Structure 1
Amino acid sequence: MFEVSLDLAAMLIAAAFAAGFVDSIAGGGGLITLPILLLAGATPLQALSTNKVQGAFGAATAALTYAAKGQVNLRKQLGAASLAFLAGLGGAFMVSALPTEAVRAILPFILIAIAAFFALRKGLDDTDRAQRITPAAFVAFVVPFVGFYDGLIGPGAGAFYMIGFVMLAGYGVLKATAHTKLLNFASNLGGLVAFAATGAPWWVMGLAMGVAQIAGASLGARLAMRKGAKLIKPLLVVTSTVLALKLIW
């Protein structure tokens, strides 16, 4: 039934639950699932595409959970999400044409800077602040940039969306987290469409992991809403730092 043995399938499903939990709060779920997919015998292309399959479920669940509690209005985000989808689609189709290794070389330092920002910035909580750019400018410039990156490379995209909402849109930490999820889902879905056309995801395994992602993301989003910045900030610092160290290694 699965593309792997039952013991490996169980390991991947457990990893997807943990990834959904972490990703719904601070992003970085791919840190957990991608290495285990490779360990289970997937080729890099299979791992990336299968990761998009299962990750889409977690991002969608987190978005709906935050919306159900009034943390985000998903209808107002549909235009931005459509742009994120197209950007993710374009990024994934450009994987073989652009020098992604150069981006990967710079990425760890960007992630460490994000971790330092959230660790050291005083007064960074769930309170909204003055916005630096208009919502239209945010959608026009920030969303397609991060969406393209999500399709092209992927790791850290959630953190990039979030820091954009905090630094430029002026959102508090919890509100920024909630607004990140639909955009992350959309650019993830765009990448999946492109990868499905060029490489073969493990569909059965990816869907099974997706069910576990739903459970993990629902739990994580509810906990994030209960704890707010006190939980989100330290977890974001940890995931960004670990991802940076993994990329350097």
Structure 2
Amino acid sequence: MLEIDALTILLLVLAGLTAGWVDAVVGGGGLIQLPALLLVPGISPVQALATNKVGSIMGTSVSSLTYYRRVGPDMRTAGPMALAAFAAAIGGAAVASQIPAELFTPIILVVCIAVAAWTLARPSVGRTTALRWEGNRHVWTALGLGLVIGAYDGMLGPGTGSFLVIALVGVLGYAFLPATAIAKIVNFATNAGALLFFVPHGAVVWSLGLAVGAANLVGAYIGARMAVARGSGFVRVIFVVVVGALVLRLGWQTFQQYWS
């Protein structure tokens, strides 16, 4: 039984609110929410991962619905990609407990650096939608992306929304706003897939998950409406700022872990 004081709950709720906003705008809210959960005394990495999924799915349910109603995401991409990601996330969650806890931060740091470099190197990418393929090739590519990112979300999770946006923009050719709309639907599916494994195994700390999830839900609603109102340019700027800040934060954590 975890001993959690009121201050810890408050900090987790603030983390959930911020994570929900960030995740709804550009993805990557888990890179705020999961580290906050890992700071809870006595919680295991697998419990933190599973509890993070509860908070995340509450936020992505609201943001995906908001985007669906206001943006009208391309369901020929979102549907197949979400189904593949759902199945892959179940498998990824099944091996999550095999990943050494000390490797979590370095793995996520490397991926974030790659994402930040890619985005900064291509300032014009994501401003308008220019799909690279049509028909079956488009669908199969979306399926492949869903499998890879879904498996990652089940195993680790943080940054999944951002990686989905990057894949949809960089590989398939969507603008940032419609890419984010599709990413929220797929991200909801990956969260559901991971929880399908974690819940029966008793890994979720429900008191924390529901508290963080309620805050995440509010943040996601505000963030999705702001992104829709301000468009792809706004989403790209926030994306670069968030990923850059996370690289600095995770880099410092890795330095302390291995060289301090």
Calculate the TM-score normalised by the size of structure 1.
0.88
Matched, 1:118 2:141: no
Give ranges in structure 2 of 5+ residues lacking alignment: 255-260
1:79-126 Cα offsets, whole Å, 9 max, x none, are 432221111010010224568977865553332232122223132343
Residue equivalent to 2:216:
213
Pick the aligned partner of 2:235 from 182, 207, 232.
232
Distance in 1 (alpha carbons) for counterparts of 2:73 and 2:47: 33
Distance in 2 (alpha carbons) for counterparts of 1:78 and 1:114: 24
* 8 Å CA contact retained: 2:77, 2:142: no
* 8 Å CA contact retained: 1:115, 1:240: yes
Give ranges in structure 1 of 5+ residues lacking alignment: none
* Pair 13,97 (structure 1): closer, same or farther in 2 beyond 3 Å: closer
Matched, 1:16 2:19: no
* Pair 95,205 (structure 1): closer, same or farther in 2 beyond 3 Å: closer
* Pair 43,99 (structure 1): closer, same or farther in 2 beyond 3 Å: closer
Distance in 1 (alpha carbons) for counterparts of 2:100 and 2:8: 33
1:108-152 Cα offsets, whole Å, 9 max, x none, are 333223212222313234311131573321233111111001101
Residue equivalent to 1:164:
167
Distance in 1 (alpha carbons) for counterparts of 2:99 and 2:32: 26
Residue equivalent to 1:154:
157
1:58-99 Cα offsets, whole Å, 9 max, x none, are 111111000111331558733432221111010010224568
Residue 170 of structure 1: CA displacement? Answer: 1.1
Distance in 2 (alpha carbons) for counterparts of 1:28 and 1:117: 16
Aligned length, in residue pairs: 248
* 8 Å CA contact retained: 1:125, 1:173: yes
RMSD, aligned CA: 2.6
Q: Taking every aligned residue pair, what percent have the same amino acid on both sides?
A: 38
* Pair 40,159 (structure 1): closer, same or farther in 2 beyond 3 Å: same
* 8 Å CA contact retained: 1:57, 1:211: yes
Residue equivalent to 2:50:
49
* Pair 74,211 (structure 1): closer, same or farther in 2 beyond 3 Å: farther
Higher mean C-alpha displacement, 86-95 vs 184-193 = 184-193
Aligned runs of 1:21-170 on 2, under 5 Å? Answer: 21-41=21-41, 42-72=43-73, 77-97=78-98, 105=106, 107-132=108-133, 134-170=137-173
Q: Secondary structure at the match of 1:171?
A: coil
Distance in 2 (alpha carbons) for counterparts of 1:138 and 1:162: 14
Distance in 1 (alpha carbons) for counterparts of 2:187 and 2:63: 10
Q: Which amino acid aligns with 1:224?
A: A
